[in-house]
Structure 1
């Protein structure tokens, strides 16, 4: 009851001696600080919205315009408004404003009219600049040209000059949002041509191809035209014709467990181990996370610019913190809270609320460290049901939605669940070591498994992300996928790791260096009420989660024979190079070509997320076949590889520029469902399994650490579970010039896949391609 007593800031009672007032100055002061902080944030947000609303213009232009107008009107006697200022005085200010302010003289009326006219000019100028910038950003010719000045066309050079001239002012995080163009709807004819070309190498016979070709032609000249019209109409009034449906139908309506099937993970820097103290590492990373959140709230975070010039959409950053996915019977719901002053710490099955703000300021690492030490030192046992509570978020969504409705909508359970769901994020202090040993690859595999799924109950999979710290101080995260894509959380992870390394650090004993030793409030352990029926449901959910995680076959590969440096010497795109090696490895593994998914971003457009690149092409298949044809020379194989890489690179560029295949067909399918129209073509396209699902994790996208000076500060990237029951999930990161990390996942229950076998085929493919170039050079 001590917590309840401390929460009373003001009370009164009536006695025979009169009314007696009781109040606690400290609590009232905390209430005042909280309110003041809230209003400061609102005011800062208001000012930032104005700055974003007029970007690439700025307030300096307003002062300049006002100065010119006032000088012309009062000093030179010139009317710069062509009668507008006098009309404002005559029809607005004198009849409506001046009578209410009797003290306003005629000079004041003129100044007010000049101010209103200057504001109108300023907003008109800002809108004009925004539309000009939007028109410039619609140009995508630069994507297909070499980055050097010699390789760029005159049009692109002129375009670069104009964009630079318009964007000289330092932008805020969301400054470009109003200027980003909308994602265009590709023409139906273009999408059909691209689709048919992409499936040609997957068809085993000509009859198979002709059947698909007929379905596509019937669709294109039949209901496809009608569906396209509806989709075009949607693109006119929506910010992005794909993103809302993609989030709803691909993520939120999925009824299977989030663990393994949707959530993904990220891993620590492997060659830099700053401390082995769990609470110290966690304190520094938590502090850095909140600094990153502060930059998002204040919009001080610089938007990512392609080639330092073209902005990427920053919309997804908004939901990084204070966000939770609420389970539903038919569909889930993403809920984002404006602010959260606390995190939830999960340690040995016990949940704690930890306030990271005290007396109006963010706690320093040393202060957070003290609170975490108290949590680790707590030897109390978890309650029956509490230890495995997280398994509810790891089971299917319908079970969790029903359980949440029955047991967590009232009483102490609702209070504690609200604390978890409204927290900034969940910090997991794991009771296992996260290990890396170059002589024992299985330790790195286990590291990835613990981050991907843990034990099935020691993560809160609904939160936007879980920051996970191993017992030995190594770290990682588990991320819910619906709110954003991997590059967004990767940006935060890059900031956190670099800030820890360059600004925070540890003393000789591995403890936090930053902080003044203030004694923070003690963490509050959450309380629960677990009836027997709820405990039974939790245990059933745990068994379901354990079945899922026990089927995961995850293999992490640190490939250090060569890296990006060698690929550049071959004058090939590193991504295209790796994708071709993946095709060669898969062909050797499965004995055939299969539909392959590579994620590409569409953040060059407003609210853009991802598009699919299809690496299996006629050209890639020709090269893979040539690698097994003894009659082909190395020169012929290299020529085929170069052609295949160029075709793949063009497809990747097309996807980034809104000329993809799969998101267009997906949206046409959604329209057909709304209209209750049956399409055999769309049904077949959307039911095709992605046997090989691949994604590249960006490395150093914000350039916060110079890898030439800190070559060991490379991240190992992250991974995800397999998409198809008999397929592979492959994530890779090109770390520096000499390392590539691969995260390969599959299911043990499939007799067609084996992650270790695929990793061996992949390493052999990478080696064969290198030898092919070396032998040709000799």
Structure 2
């Protein structure tokens, strides 16, 4: 997965409570469309540090051919500019995002979904789960009435559009591209009118009402009673092959075919799917307690046992010892939106959320098993999916890394951007672990634009190359190394600001490629431009590190899977007083990931000492 969580560079403030949630959506500025010339020049600058002279020359030749007046670039750019001017189009990225997320054909479990591990509360499982349910229902009621204040960051309102995908949203697998079933749509106008959630326990699913018939939320005591009834009903684990949730771990076209077979086999399966897909969210109760924090994170990322529906936008996971977190389907939700959601849920006691929502005791909520009828072939598919995904998880290596004595406050005391500090530390550690620098992705939030999501930043700059070289040069003294660090950090901050301003080449050039795929015959661009097979394009996008930040005091860790056979996924929580990371990589290169973690610890200490010596 290449999570687009977005890197926060300030703590969001909120507008006056009287401002409706979606008040700014139609007045936010549009995402700027870069010129072809700007993106071509930036692309050459971004990929250049990763190329040999021969590769750079070959890439420059392909860029020149692409952008020349009679080349394919101007034709594709004109088509994109025309699309951007089309009435009803919010952004030139309107088509890009569905393709990027819904077009992927591999499994989304572990590869695309991301997780947050919440801070521990010490509550028992049922109490913790009931509190999360009550808080989420309270959030939904506020959202339905547009009483969630719009986020304002450094004086700029941020798009709140993604909040429409928090509840009753489910990704639907397709043979060629997935779709999304969600409220606030033509098929389902306005907020969700669903009153239920789906609770998983031991591989079985149960519908549980969380709102009464008149829309009043159930009390915390009611919700605990309902969860207790689920646990009692699920005392015996589901029989092997009967947990349909396993199918959501399959590659998308395979899951689409299995879903079609479910619908064709028995008419009752349509109702069961409808129950799951329209549920406000899922709650996954686990009957075990992970051994430690890393295992807890792993279970949040790729735990299964038929106890997940990975297509659901939001799934709360609560373990037997009360530890809890969230697994998120990424197509409509970025980390910044989930952070705001989680901070609201966890920043106020559940009892207060319940009270403010108007919850009252109505007796134990209605619960009912969600039953799928399966023939032998479908049961075999579910068993095979379970085995395949278990192996896929086993083939993934992970590691948590925690710095209890370092955080953003320490970085700022060294007169440097905290994000620049850690990104430079990553590069130094990677050089020492793998003997080279490699393409590095960092997600940059762009929610100040209409329907804005994220921009793809490529971290390796000539200045970073020079910094790493200075750190590895025995002849370089401390003053030279500090100067190299300062120069590289300044270049990093500059590039991040450019990305926030929409001045980045990758998504723009990628969308031009997608236009050629979709409309090339009509536009007279019948073949993929050679630019997209150039060393620069292929190397810049071949991640060695995929990084994203999620700063919140309410979470311990966040994480996602790596994006390629040699990539290390780095999900980090950088707070004033602590710095926690969750690393992931294919098992075959686990040794390099563990070496990276060791070198990172050394690099952070080394850089702190270097900058302290000024």
Q: Do they superpose with TM above 0.5? A: yes
1:388 is aligned, of 228, 243, 253, to 243
Instruction: Report the alpha carbon displacement of residue 551 of structure 1 after superposing the two structures with TM.
Output: 1.0
Q: Deviations over 1:539-598 (max 9, x none)?
A: 111122122111111111111122111111111111111111111111111111111100
User: CA–CA distance in 2 between the matches of 1:169 and 1:370?
Assistant: 34
Structure 1 residue 723 corresponds to structure 2 residue 566: no
8 Å Cα contact 1:243-1:609 kept in structure 2: no
Say yes or no: does 1:758 pair with 2:596: yes
Further displaced range: 207-216 or 568-577: 207-216
- Quote the Cα distance in structure 1 between the aligned partners of 2:298 and 2:410: 31
SS in 1 for 2:348: helix
Residue 357 of structure 1, aligned match among 211, 220, 235: 211
CA deviation vs aligned residue, 1:677-708 (integer Å, no higher than 9, x gap): 32111234654411211111132xxxxxxxxx
TM-score by length of 1: 0.71
CA distance in 1, matches of 2:372, 2:143: 34
Q: Pick from 551, 569, 580 the counterpart of residue 741 of structure 1.
A: 580
Task: Give the Cα–Cα distance (whole angstroms) in 2 for the partners of residues 743 and 263 of structure 1.
Answer: 14
- CA change 1:603–1:517 in 2 (3 A) is closer
SS in 2 for 1:283: helix
Matched with 1:574 is: 418
Choose which of 334, 338, 341 in structure 1 pairs with 2:195.
Answer: 341
1:390, 1:457 within 8 Å by CA — same for their partners in 2?
yes
Change (3 A) 1:179 1:695: same
Tell me whether 1:678 sits opposite 2:531 in the alignment: no
Separation in 2, partners of 1:259, 1:456: 13
Moved more, 381-390 or 570-579: 381-390
2:257 aligned partner = 402
- Contact 1:692–1:728 (8 Å) recurs in 2: yes
1:214 and 2:61 matched: yes
Deviations 1:377-400 (A, max 9, x none): 235534535653211000111121
Structure 1 residue matching 2:325: 3-state secondary structure: strand
1:493 counterpart residue number = 342
Post-superposition offset of 1:462: 0.7
User: SS at 1:366's partner residue?
Assistant: helix
TM-superposition CA deviations, 1:26-62 (whole Å, max 9, x none)? xxxxxxxxxxxxxxxxxxxxxxxxxxxxxxxxxxxxx
Map 1:145-164 → 2, pairs under 5 A: none
SS of the residue aligned with 2:126?
helix
SS in 2 for 1:731: strand
Unaligned runs of 5+ in 1: 1-145, 148-163, 436-442, 506-513, 700-712
Structure 2 distance, partners of 1:543, 1:619, is: 46
Structure 2: distance between partners of 1:464 and 1:407: 21
Which runs of at least 4 in structure 1 moved beyond 6 Å after TM superposition? none
Question: Is 2:438–2:545's contact at 8 Å kept on the other side of the alignment?
Answer: yes
Contact 1:552-1:748 within 8 A present in 2 as well: yes
Deviation at 1:502? 7.9
Looking at structure 1, the residues matched to 91 and 281 of structure 2 have their Cα atoms a distance apart, in angstroms, of 30
Partner of 2:589: helix, strand, or coil?
A: coil
Alignment of 1:43-122 (within 5 A): none
Name the counterpart of 1:184: 32
Q: Which residue of 1 aligns with 2:550?
A: 697
Provide the secondary structure at the position in 2 that maps to 1:716: strand
Offset at residue 314 of structure 1 (A): 0.9
Aligned residues: 579
- Does structure 2 retain, via aligned residues, the 8 Å contact 1:348–1:382? yes
Q: Deviation at 1:375?
A: 1.3
SS of structure 2 residue aligned to 1:179: coil
Secondary structure at 2:399's aligned position in 1? strand
Partners of 1:724 and 1:742 in 2: how far apart? 19
Give the CA deviation at 1:669: 0.7
Greater RCO (CA < 8 Å, at least 6 residues apart): 2
Structure 1 residue 241: Cα displacement: 3.7
Kindly indicate whether the alpha-carbon contact (under 8 Å) linking 2:446 and 2:452 is maintained by their aligned counterparts in 1.
yes
Which structure's residues are more often helix, by fraction?
1
Task: State the partner residue of 1:246.
Answer: 96
Q: For residue 296 of structure 1, report the CA deviation from its aligned partner.
A: 1.4
Question: Does residue 461 of the first structure (1) align with residue 310 of the second (2)?
Answer: yes
Assess, with a 3 A threshold, how the Cα gap between structure 1 residues 427 and 169 changes in structure 2: closer, same or farther: closer
Cα deviation, residue 331, structure 1: 1.0
Q: Which residue of 1 aligns with 2:162?
A: 316
Larger radius of gyration: 1
Give the 3 Å change call, closer, same or farther, for CA 499–332 of structure 1 in structure 2: same
CA distance in 2, matches of 1:379, 1:654: 53
Q: What is residue 142 of structure 1 aligned with on the other side?
A: none
Does structure 2 retain, via aligned residues, the 8 Å contact 1:366–1:516?
no
Check conservation: 1:627, 1:637, Cα contact below 8 A.
yes
| Other structure's SS at 2:180 match | strand
Instruction: Trace 1:226-241 onto structure 2 (pairs within 5 A).
Output: 226-237=75-86, 239-241=89-91
**Which residue does 1:79 correspond to in 2?**
none
Whole-angstrom CA distance in 2 between matches of 1:322 and 1:537: 26
> What does residue 96 of structure 1 align with?
none
1:167-182 matches, within 5 Å, as 170-182=18-30
Q: Which residue of 1 aligns with 2:111?
A: 261
